[in-house]
């Protein structure tokens, strides 16, 4: 809910989205909690939001969900929503 960014399930964030601008450089990022060890969030105030929690797809769905499970459908949806084509760099290794 505005002004809170990200994707929420109730009062718990499952996906964080961030943008930083400075020195003529824009950085952006996205973190989707798939099977994250959520106990680490017990030691901090996630995203600086008092009284809010963090969840994961695994916790919400009641089964183990890995990044490999969601990567392809996520990228396909991203392309559809933003009307773009993702281009992948070749592995330098």
Give the integer Cα–Cα distance in Å for 39 and 46.
12
- Check: CB of residue 15 under 8 Å from CB of residue 33: yes
Give the integer Cα–Cα distance in Å for 92 and 56.
31
35 noted as active-site residue: no
Residue from 21, 34, 47, 84 carrying the catalytic annotation: 47
Q: List the catalytic residues.
A: 47
């Amino acid at each position: 809910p505005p002004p809170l960014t990200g994707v929420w399930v109730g009062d718990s964030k499952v996906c964080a989205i961030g943008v930083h601008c400075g020195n003529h450089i824009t950085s952006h990022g996205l973190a989707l909690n798939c099977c994250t060890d959520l106990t680490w969030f017990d030691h901090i105030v996630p995203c600086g939001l008092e009284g809010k929690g963090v969840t994961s797809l695994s916790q919400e769905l009641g089964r183990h969900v890995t990044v490999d499970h969601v990567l392809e459908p996520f990228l396909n949806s991203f392309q559809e929503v933003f009307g773009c084509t993702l281009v992948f760099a070749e592995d330098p290794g």
